[in-house]
Amino acid sequence: MKIAVASDDERTISHHFGRAMGFVVFDIDTTEVKGRSYRQNKGKHSGECGSCDHATMIDNIKDCKYVICYGMGRRIYDDLMQARITPIVTEEELVDRALERFVSGALKNRPEKLHDHH
């Protein structure tokens, strides 16, 4: 199973999914990390309202079962769900800590943090 974590620096979780520079992608076998890579967020927000390319962002992580981020808009959340990628909105700020909590079942999903403007 693969899990993507939105991040600008591969260490901290990006505060907004659409503006993230990329994704740390973990390949996990039950509770063991088998691989780690970084992918650029090709459809990221350019600063203008509505500039996110949801299809490109989703295509970039389509092999992932989950995506972890700190915040995102409701539209991309729904688009990810339709693509069968489960978004997890967290208050965790560190990539490795979020992964550790996810694997142990302790990472809380906070969908109430979704933004309605995207």
**pLDDT of 91 higher than 90:** yes
pLDDT of residue 118: 43
What structural domains does the chain harbor? 2-113 (3.30.420.130)
**pLDDT of 53 higher than 90:** no
Q: How far is CA 102 from CA 37, 78, 108, 112, in A?
A: 18, 21, 8, 19
Amino acid, res. 7: S
Better pLDDT: 46 or 40: 40
- What value does the mean pLDDT of the chain take? 89
pLDDT of residue 30: 78
Taking residues 7-18, report their average pLDDT: 92
Quote the CA–CA distance of 32 and 42 in Å, as a whole number: 28
